[in-house]
Amino acid sequence: MSGSGTMDSGRTPPPYQVAAIQFEPALFAKTANLETLLRLTEEAAVGGAKLIVTPEMATTAYCWATREEIAADVEPIPGPTTHLFEEIAARHDCWIVLGLAEVAPETGIYYNSAVLIGPAGPAGLYRKTHAYISEPKWAKDGDLGLPVFATPLGRIAITICMDAAYPETARIPALAGADVICFPTNWLSEKSPSPSWMARAAENGVYFIAANRYGLERGVQFSGGSAVIDPDGSVQSALDCGDGIVWGWVDVARARNKRPLPGCPEDLLADRRPDAYGAMTLNSYLWPPDDFHGLYDIRPLPEARESRAAVVQFAPAAGAVEENLERIAHETATLAARGCDLVVFPELAVSGPVVDWETADVLAEEIPGPSTRRLRRIAATAKVYLIAGVIERDPETNRLFNSAMLMGPDGIVGMYRKLHLAAVDRPWATPGDLGLPTFDIPVGRVGMLIGYDALFPEAARALAIDGADIIACPSLVSWPPVLPYGETVIPMPPFVDAGATDAHYHLWRERERENNAHVLFANGAAPAMGWSGCFAAVLESEPRRESIVRGDGEGTAVIEIDTGGVVRSKDLVRMRMPIWYDALQAPPEHAARVAREHGARAGAWLAPVRELVGAG
């Protein structure tokens, strides 16, 4: 088999069984770890699994303090350990993803790696791209890109642990045609299956097979929750705690259909707008944010401050502009009395939803126009900033846009035109042509996404790269759903809710986490799904700070936000590895090829390594 430089013919394999192995390895006990791991892998293969995924660093455990300490346990790939798993793969005609500590024979460099082993032996190698805090003590960042491997089971990609905190690491393999992402991990500090894993599956329409460990090691508590996650982000099967096997099925045909809902015309990959993703390869947080964004005294960040923000969940009445404006005025005044500085309303809050050109044409307004003048009076009277959705008419072209307006007491601060059009927009709206701008107000630097836009992680990422403190999301969406999850018996840190939760997975919370930005999601009430929320950016070691309107009824959510601290430092954004992200901003006709070529080194790795280690 080859790496992503040589893809298969596109033949769709039949559904097949998969397995994720969960177990607790121990430091300085490689022989015992291997005995357990081989037993569980054999059990999964005998049980019919054709693709088996093991945890990160499965042969050695994880919490190594120095390069010298782990030196006795690293090994080449291929090597003695891969030969043991190759025997299982050959005996049962299956494929195994094995997480282990690798040494490159030619250089002596160590990596946190995972190898894809087929019946004929090692067929692909991935080296962890985004290091967690422990890897820099002994391992080099991965240097083989984000490859996809063609197999009889379809196209398989691998990412490892912290990689899943970065949407790029799943998006690029998806662009290269991945059907399944195998995920060896040692996840911690969160009830698992992690919502991050679910987001990576849902936004790319791929299966996500997560093999985690559990247990306590050097004071670090790992979270278990190994899972098989479906392309819609739902959990097909999971194991909370203990050694065991999570069983599941992969239907490659389902993974290759990128429509998020049956029968809908939306497509999670075809609907991308790479013409607006020009910031994806910029490393904008290598330098202190105030210095970088204030360079040459051009557009420095607003002074950090504390504010209060709110979202309003209601169902804008179709075509009832005056009624909707009265509702906006009432809610704004009420929330201003509660000390709110910024209020966000749903998508098309002024006009209500429309489904055809004729209706939209009647309701559309040039900007400024009567409704925008009314919104300005509302903002000025309440002395707040507000964001509301309108049908905008371009006076020069007569084109209509699904737009959102940031309005302040002194008038319009900024406009955003929806980039990614949902099916309901397409009969009347023109795709946005203003890119992904941000705007500075006293509350902070604000970017906007509308509805379907938020399903594309590149859009929120572009705003974060441009320094957004706040990402406002006026919406009228019913997908992806907010998903509950039950309790875990694994001891969790005090800032983690270990009990059953009704909003375990909320995509807009993930956009906050990924981008170290406050996210204000103002969705419509029924017939939209509701679940509006304010998600304040916090450190991973802090309790969540959020306010949610639960369910699809009307309501408001209010939260205190601070544009200092993690929002400005954007620690997670700073640790991106944009050297591997070219495919994200490549034109659609080139994206798949660029994604494959960037991962081609992983396929070219095998022959010279075999020669160096005498593997034959």
- Strand boundaries in 363-399, DSSP class E: 385-393
Residue 540: what pLDDT?
86
> pLDDT digits over 291-345, tens only?
999 999 999 999 999 999 999 999 999 999 999 999 999 999 999 999 999 999 9
Query: CA dist 443 to 119, 309, 448, 471, Å?
Result: 58, 9, 14, 12
For residues 265-271, average pLDDT: 95
- Strand boundaries in 252-328, DSSP class E: 306-313
Nearest to 454 by CA among 401, 504, 414, 418: 418
Q: Decide yes or no: CATH 3.60.110.10 for domain 308-562.
A: yes
Catalytic pick among 24, 56, 266, 458: 56
CA–CA gap between residue 236 and residue 233 (Å, rounded): 9
128 is catalytic: yes
Domain boundaries, the chain: 16-251+589-613, 308-562
Length, in residues, of the chain:
616
HSE (side-chain half, CA atoms, 13 Å) at 445: 25
For residues 478-498, average pLDDT: 94
> pLDDT digits over 436-456, tens only?
999 999 999 999 999 999 999
Catalytic pick among 128, 191, 418, 570: 128
- Token duo for residue 452: 């379907």
Residue 227: what pLDDT?
98
* More confidently predicted of 43 and 613: 43
CA–CA gap between residue 208 and residue 201 (Å, rounded): 6
Catalytic pick among 94, 161, 340, 534: 161
161 is catalytic: yes
Residue 613: what pLDDT?
47
**Which of the following CATH numbers is that of domain 16-251+589-613: 2.60.120.330, 3.50.50.60, 1.10.1200.10, 3.60.110.10?**
3.60.110.10
**CB of 245 within 8 A of CB of 19?**
yes
